[in-house]
Chains A and B, each alone.
Chain A
């Protein structure tokens, strides 16, 4: 399989950000921050009326997109910027593009978009294929 600059990566779609997954991640991260668990707390803090996804889970979605695009590859480096929150029920699409090819190293730009709201995460990654 060969890759070229400009290649679009197949998107990774999450049809609905899940409160159950947020509960799981509060355990994985040992972080009981109630904005991920309790709508009343989110409202009380003035952050909206839906639970907020943990940021690292959003990074995991983008990693899933990258690893699915290049079976057998591994991520050597990755930088992610957090631009906005993901809320329960959001429809997410992680996508990316090859921006450089150097031997068995690929550089990609990627982003995570929420339907109707735009990009909430973006960044770059280097993969070893």
Chain B
């Protein structure tokens, strides 16, 4: 009750929602999805990734899958898409900076790749590594004040195997443009956007919690889990509501209340039973 109808996820839509298709969502305009990006490898401004990624080569591309798996393998991107195909997923995206979009992705479930690799019994986590190419990524050349490269992320194994967790290779029906994480990126719709590591080169299954870039940068501001949670504020701003990109006017930003797990609580809340989400944020 009291939720914006456009963003509400009515009971009974759970089956559709499990496939990432909350019926009532309106996708954010394509131009906003591809021109308002955080991708510090290209620069710190939201417009930098679209403007400064012209010399980035996302083909040919290989993804190494290794660690605690039966079949470690280096996949060519085309082999990955040939094997796992792609399906449409319309997901809400909630940035930790308190803005949100609704994005039509194309991709395949990370779980499918992990099952094909054969996860070993002692595996607990999945670690991801992004690309390092200072010659093509200007943000990696001026690293003094920025993040450390490569960008790294991680998920608990059960999160990685969840059917909502997607490896996206396309957006709006096109192959991912560089600024959105070409050619392959992670999308975890119930977590803050920074968990969605872009331009993935390596996926390592491990038994230890892997380091994650923003957590290393400011551990008191960004946790390992980074689950969307309106009750746990960022130290410098409230997370109770979010600005909807592509709506509203100059004199009235469109906002809506932020929902627990970005509205995907029905599907994922059980993963965190018994955890204190204020401490494990």
- Tell whether A pairs with B: no
